[in-house]
Structure 1
């Protein structure tokens, strides 16, 4: 790492976390799809998107179209999401509550930057005292009767290149010089692009991805490792 990256890692102004398989042990899109009875179809689409992300990590519309296709298969109603949250409480990754508390005690802000859904992530953020203004995720739209009506295409993370765009927005809005990104996948690694995250910490505590481990500035298998560094 460069001196700048080391300083950012030991003294971060803010830390951004991916949610699925990082902040939580869940993969919420796949689990919601399974709850709706279309798990296999959506899992196949997700696997296809992982290949796309690994081969071409930016600038195109692949992620938005994949999200549109997955949601088109799922067609979740507002009541479906509410029942899913009731029946499937978040499985927060061990160490995350302690890490969030440590960062906040040091005056360092926490942001969630996810390709998942605000309807699922907001209750999690609130439970850990993270302001909803610090959540960047996709938003499912419903009509007046609560039926699926698409998704908000203005959200950063509905498109390829969305995570670095969200982080650049955070830096501009809050005046940060450097940000640490923690995540498990290719779109999280992509967040280390020019002008975005200073350091990318790859997390393999839920799923180990060899290509991410090879390219991360630091790769960890336990959140406690990050806590120890910050302490």
Structure 2
């Protein structure tokens, strides 16, 4: 297995110097892009996946617009399709449970911050022991998706800037500085929070993200990160 790619790492890298770890969900902690799998139930996976891929690569710079375009294609999808994705498709990526358990054991708080949906983040957060969660709420009427999101107290769409803001807000709540935050992601939507964190980690990420991260895990599981700490 190839070594981790590292650049501009603080030295020494000690887990005790960090207080918060923020994680993207889709394709980072879990093996799928949930919105693409929902789209499969509507027979529109190719259309939606193409937009998802372009947004993750950073080719579509307006995440909110890209999400609204994809959601519109999901209008009428039954709730049963969401249940099927959760039970049959969603799996944790290698090392996700181990990394989160080790971070919690070391006293860090965990944040799940996703441009995905609460239908799935609730499950993932409960399984991994997340302390904070932020994600989008699908609007469901008469047992089917409307193609829209529900407005929440903080706003409607969790985009890259909201991920960054939430990470910094949680850090403030626990008395941590940005330098004491770890941010882990794979797509362009994760770059704002990764850029604000003391340690940024790209997991099987798009080239643009890999190039800007301090640590890139291109092979193996998320728990490989633990090997960098003294």
TM-score with structure 1 setting the length: 0.81
- 1:48 is aligned, of 54, 58, 63, to 54
RMSD: 2.5
Q: Which residue is equivalent to 1:66?
A: 66
Offset at residue 173 of structure 1 (A): 2.5
Q: Tell me the secondary structure at the aligned position of residue 228 of structure 2.
A: helix
Offset at residue 181 of structure 1 (A): 0.2
TM-score with structure 2 setting the length: 0.81
2:164 aligned with 1:164: yes
2:34 aligned with 1:35: no
Q: Which residue is equivalent to 1:201?
A: 201
CA contact (8 A) 2:194 2:213 kept: no
Q: Tell me the secondary structure at the aligned position of residue 100 of structure 1.
A: helix
Offset at residue 155 of structure 1 (A): 4.2
- 1:191 is aligned, of 183, 190, 193, to 193
Q: Do the aligned partners of residues 168 and 175 (structure 1) sit closer, same or farther apart at CA in structure 2, a change above 3 Å counting?
A: same
| Unaligned 5+ runs, structure 2 | 1-7
2:214 aligned with 1:217: yes
CA contact (8 A) 2:55 2:188 kept: no
Offset at residue 20 of structure 1 (A): 1.2
Q: Which residue is equivalent to 2:78?
A: 77
Q: Tell me the secondary structure at the aligned position of residue 116 of structure 1.
A: strand
Offset at residue 121 of structure 1 (A): 1.8
Q: Tell me the secondary structure at the aligned position of residue 111 of structure 1.
A: strand
In structure 1, distance between residues paired with 2:228 and 2:162? 28
Q: Which runs of 4+ in 1 moved over 4 A?
A: 5-10, 153-157
Q: Which residue is equivalent to 2:3?
A: none
Residues 188-217 of structure 1 show CA distances to partners (whole Å, capped at 9, x for unaligned) of 122134xx322211112xxx4322222111
In structure 2, distance between residues paired with 1:199 and 1:180? 5
In structure 2, distance between residues paired with 1:87 and 1:226? 28
- Length, aligned pairs only: 215
In structure 1, distance between residues paired with 2:39 and 2:144? 16
Offset at residue 44 of structure 1 (A): 2.2
In structure 1, distance between residues paired with 2:85 and 2:191? 29
| Unaligned 5+ runs, structure 1 | 57-61
